[in-house]
């Protein structure tokens, strides 16, 4: 059950980051350059295969001028 909850959390965070990226009009490659990450890492992040650390979440929130809750909770 815990593994399911973790996967749901990763997927939700990834979907939220993807939504913010798309709203900014950036491609995965352009977005990766903003955060010093490869396009494939952005793809993994958005699909829930990679759980971002707190630093990434904070940087994404600052970049989009949103709270970390917008990334973690929505």
Residues in the chain: 74
**Cβ neighbourhood burial of 3 (10 Å; 0-12, 13-18, 19+):** exposed
CB atoms within 10 A of CB 22: 13
Q: What is the CATH number of the domain that holds 19?
A: 1.10.260.40
Whether the predicted pLDDT of 5 surpasses 90? no
Please say whether the beta carbons of 16 and 71 come within 8 A.
Answer: yes
What are the pLDDT digits (tens) for 30-63? 999 999 999 999 999 999 999 999 999 999 999 9
Please say whether the beta carbons of 70 and 23 come within 8 A.
Answer: no
Structural domain count of the chain: 1
- Domain span at residue 61 reads 2-72
């Amino acid at each position: 059950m815990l593994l399911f909850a973790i996967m749901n959390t990763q997927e939700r965070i990834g979907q939220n980051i993807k939504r913010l990226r798309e709203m900014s009009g950036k491609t995965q490659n352009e977005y990766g350059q903003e955060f010093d990450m490869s396009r494939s890492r952005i793809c993994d992040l958005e699909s829930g295969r990679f759980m971002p650390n707190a630093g990434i979440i904070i940087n994404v929130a600052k970049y989009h001028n949103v709270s970390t809750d917008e990334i973690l909770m929505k």
